[in-house]
Amino acid sequence: MSKPPATVDFARPPAALMARAAKLATSTLHEAAGQIGALPAGIRPLHLDMRCCGPAFTVKGPPGDNLWLHHALALAAPGDVVVADVGGLHEASYWGEVMTTQAMARRLGGLVIDGGVRDAQAMIAHGFPTFSRCISMRGTAKDRGFPGKLGITIALGEAIIAAGDLVVGDGDGVVVIPRDRLEAAVAAGEARVEKEAAAMDKLRGDAMTVDMYGWR
């Protein structure tokens, strides 16, 4: 039988730095960090207005089984975003309204899962930030004999995610920025926002992008 640890300890980014990152779009952070950390485009928010920003609490569980997500719910800290690798079976439903209710009571920051969720209308009404591969009614098992892991490094698509990396999700998708690169990425993102704002001011006049950027 595979048992969860009593605690899952890892370093998290400073709160002030996460607050700055929360003001930036995922596309801005992705570009500012050197075009890294973009999760597969198929992992989408249940509603375009949903947004999350918090440390990754990583989960790796077997396909078709969500017991390790329940363990994650019990051990994640307030503000953590549960990020789950479910072993490749995308179209099962690993999370629904019951788990969302607990996640909100524990003040978690959101869910990012390379698998399905259900109770979509209720979850949208609750407003809990949920980013999933699909919506599916198919249930999952809870087999205590299946192995799983919490707080380890996982991969979703080309993105490598360690516990404590910053997860930001919005209507464009999800980006994960390594904790040791976060300060530089946020500073570069803030500079990018200022630069783009100045460019758009010019474009509201008679400027053209092909001239501004030397593309003629």
pLDDT value at residue 1: 55
Phi and psi angles of residue 202, each rounded to the nearest 5 degrees, phi first: -70, -40
* Integer Rg of the chain from CA: 18
pLDDT tens digits for range 68-101: 999 999 999 999 999 999 999 999 999 999 999 9
pLDDT in tens, 95-152: 999 999 999 999 999 999 999 999 999 999 999 999 999 999 999 988 877 789 999 9
* Mean per-residue pLDDT over the chain, rounded: 96
* Element spanning 99, H or E: helix 97-105
**Taking the domains of the chain in order of start, what are their residue ranges?**
15-212
- For residue 202 the two structure tokens come to 């010019």
In sequence order, what are the beta bridge partners of 111? 82, 130
Region 15-212: CATH code? 3.50.30.40
Span 185-189, average pLDDT: 99
